[in-house]
Chains A and B, each alone.
Chain A
């Protein structure tokens, strides 16, 4: 999508001019339609960088391990917000970072494409503005990009990263308006009968194998010892049994309260395709409704669970 050569050249120029220790970006992956995060530390290695509609994974997750170094990082809207949350939590210093912003067109749903076109390879997909071309053994399929956006990206309200050191040129696409699809999904589930809703989540979460991919991909899961691994107290065991699975997801959600930027990385990383957005979408909606707070927009406002108001809702106290 972004011209590979000009992206490499721009980032390489920034790397040398700013005297950075490295630049965090994406390189082609070994699995189709799944670019992988990479850290480039040598000027000659910038040619490996790519950016296309499949660069879902939140790169802010890679800042912790480069703490204290001067790093450049490619940020979409959600990566930018995640970086801001990490700065707010004093995990990284803003002055150590050089943020290269990409106005994000919304990322594409790899699973949806692979389901409709099994065996699709990365080199068969071309993006041009709002159009998606698939080269399928001689015949060319034209698709509309907007029909293949990830559900989290469809609902994104912050596509263009703000307060960055360098904002790359807007890409030749019409940025679709954020729609309320995720909020609607969450709302329709909330309106279900209790048992029906329990059944839905039983079905979704029972598939969980407790691989912790959702934790590992999340920029905010940086605890040295996660509660899942704590042996004293041993809150849970790694056996993928219903109680453990439920314990894990609810506690992880509570840890994400006021922090989750709905980047969709967890759902993207899940090998069992659990619709984690339905959990985190609800959490984010509740935090917004109860505490009028949206994470990652402002470093100076404390996170909702780290302070309080005397006028907080009390209706849940019986």
Chain B
């Protein structure tokens, strides 16, 4: 239904974004945004993870397959990892994944990585605003290896 609304331009469609947040930095950053009463779009479904390196491509692709329009993975800034090196290992995986997905024709905005610390409540809110806008711009996710509905459906 929501997809149809997007297609017909009535735009009641709101992106659904799954956010994997590391418990030491980004989750605390989201918490700070909340207690500071900073408003940001209610598009994210937050999943608490121990570390950004806990996230493998399985989780990211599975989230998209199960209905997310976008995925955000956020962890501590390099050097600040609670486990010292987790985010640095994750960084290597993520750049490869990001390049492969782009190569296979997946819009770059579908999957986003970022570093947010526990003190960056405003930065977190800003990040969610950006991610929401970027995903809104590319529209709903229709599944992998599927033809994107043609332009003509926009007129109808």
Residues in chain A within 8 A of chain B (CB atoms): 189-190, 194-195, 197-202, 205-206, 227, 235, 242-243, 245-247, 250-251, 253-254, 257, 279, 282-283, 286-287, 290-291, 304-310, 312-318
Contact = CB atoms under 8 A, between A and B. Distances in A.
Interface in B79-103: 79, 85, 88-89, 91-101, 103
7 shortest interchain CB distances as A-B pairs: A198-B105, A246-B144, A242-B145, A308-B88, A197-B105, A243-B65, A316-B98
Nearest to A251: B57
27 contacts: A195-B148, A197-B103, A198-B104, A198-B105, A200-B105, A201-B105, A201-B145, A235-B62, A242-B145, A242-B146, A243-B144, A247-B61, A250-B101, A251-B58, A254-B97, A257-B93, A279-B104, A282-B100, A286-B100, A290-B92, A290-B95, A308-B85, A308-B91, A310-B79, A316-B99, A317-B114, A318-B112
B113 A308 contact: no
B113 A245 contact: no
B81 to A, nearest CB: 11
Interface string B132-156: 0000000000011111100000000
B147 A202 contact: yes
> Is the contact region of chain A dominated by helix, strand, or loop, or is it mixed?
helix
B41 interface: no
Contacts, number: 117
Contacts of B98: 316
A286 B92 contact: no
Contacts of A283: 96, 100
Given A197-B104, A250-B104, A317 B146 contact: no
A201 B99 CA distance: 15
- B58, B88, B101 — which one has the most chain A CB atoms within 10 A of its CB? B58
A317 B91 contact: yes
Nearest to B85: A308
Contacts of B94: 316-317
Nearest to B145: A242
Contact of A308 (B58, B92, B147): B92
Q: How large is the interface on B (under 10, 10 to 19, 20 to 34, 35 or more residues)?
A: 35 or more
Given A198-B105, A245-B145, A254-B56, 12 more contacts: A242-B145, A243-B65, A243-B143, A247-B61, A247-B65, A247-B144, A254-B97, A282-B103, A286-B100, A305-B89, A314-B91, A318-B130
A286 B96 contact: yes
Contact of B100 (A242, A250, A308, A309): A250
Nearest to A290: B95
Given A283-B100, A318-B113, A254 B93 contact: yes
A227 B58 contact: yes
A307 B88 CA distance: 8
- B103, B127, B148 — which one has the most chain A CB atoms within 10 A of its CB? B103
Nearest to B111: A316
A306 B92 CA distance: 9
A310 B113 contact: no
A201 B148 contact: no
